[in-house]
Amino acid sequence: MSEQTLAEFLEQATCFLDTAADRAPAATSRPWGEGPDGTELLAEWSSEEEARLVTEARRFKALEYDAGFGWIDGPAVYGGRGLPRSYHEAYTRLRQQFAVPDLAVMRLGLSMTAPTILAHGTEQVKSAYLPRLHRGDLIACQLFSEPDAGSDLASLRASAVPDGDGWVLRGQKVWTTNAHLSDIGEVLCRTDPRAPKHRGITAFLIDMHAPGVEVRPLRQMTGGASFNEVFLTDVRVPDDHRLGEVNEGWQVAITTLMNERSTTADIGGSLDVILDRLVMLARWSGRLSDPAVRDLVSDTAMHILAARAGSQRAHEAVATGQPGPEQSVGKLLWTQNLQRVSRVVSELLGPRLVADTGEWGTYAWAKFVLAVPGIRISAGTDEIMRNILAERVLGLPREKPSTRDQERT
């Protein structure tokens, strides 16, 4: 494809979006008491709503990809357009001006699994899956955590045993977002139980519809069920679907996790909307003139603005190559800000947070507060993020392993 200036590219992109979607209404602050009052962090869809959203997302991604905007900065050899990262970012900003379908169901696959396939997959896997992921033909999930291997991911026990020209996988995974909607999954398995726990792991790409793959939904305390547990019973995987070298899966996992933290930190932009709702709640409660409440709200606003600046810095780091420690900082700031919002809401609402009085914009915050602990765990707990920053960025001494860890290694 011939070289294009950014202005020419955006003109072409605008023409496409004008034919594929309506213009989004101008962003305005919704008046208190109008419209739905849900304030949620986790998806809460019925099966019918979910099916409709997936269909709409797939349809739009196919149109977008076929028009040349599905993988703007991806290598042309694997179906990308081969343009600079700045073109992708400019298109993303432009697309926000249009009422396109909710593409959240694609986010984890495109921001985590696809970059990992690109970095560690075989040529066959790259060619087979990267175009289809970016076109929306496939949805992907991440199969890392286990009942006894969450924050201590390297303690995983799911196994992969060589068998002919492939592998047989057995074990259980948990907290897998969108597993029930996914076509493929990136999975970590132990391939050498005698090796130190970080060194005996191998990564694979599996067919989520293959015999032996069973997905069971997990009900969240918010009431939804976007997470799942996945059971692998004698699941056969060809060796060319291995990601990276045998027993070198930890490096593959790092690629995925750093991109996951980038994605999680990037969601922080939604805190601007939440902050707006929070200020309206403080006004409605009649306590915005209370110095203590004003201090809580202004402190929360300050930290959200600081996190936004950190997110921009993280984007610049991604544009130069492998995501760095900025992603861990962003993820930690995101969850800390969620906790700040929860504290202010709890202070303002008191019992109305847990008892539905029927007042608009009050009990609706309950799902937000209940979801925060789960967000603090996903993509690495706050404690893990602090350890990463302390040991790998600041160069502080490593945390002493527990007795349990010593026994496992």
Q: Which residues does the annotation mark as catalytic?
A: 260
What amino acid occupies position 89?
E
Element (H, E) at 209: none
Q: What is the DSSP letter of 213?
A: E
Cα–Cα distance measured from residue 201 to residue 182, given in angstroms and rounded to the nearest whole number: 23
Q: Which two tokens stand for residue 151?
A: 């924050």
* Helices marked H in 248-357: 249-266, 271-284, 291-319, 326-349
Residues 6+ apart with CB under 8 A from 24: 96, 97, 98, 99
Q: What number of H helices and E strands is found in the chain?
A: 13, 8
Among the listed residues 380, 406, 99, 164, the one whose alpha carbon sits nearest the alpha carbon of residue 257: 380
Is residue 40 within 8 A of residue 368, CB to CB? The reply is yes
Q: Which two tokens stand for residue 64?
A: 């977008």
Buried b / exposed e over 87-104, threshold 16 CB at 10 Å, is bbebbeebbeeeebbebe
DSSP helix, strand, coil percent of the chain (3-state; round to 5): 50, 15, 35
Distances (CA, A) of 175 to 97, 143, 146: 33, 8, 8
Q: What are phi and psi of 312, to 5 degrees?
A: -65, -40
Distances (CA, A) of 301 to 43, 294, 296, 333: 25, 10, 9, 13
Burial of 339 (0-12, 13-18, 19+ CB in 10 A): middle
CA 108, 111, 115 angle in degrees (round to 5)? Answer: 125
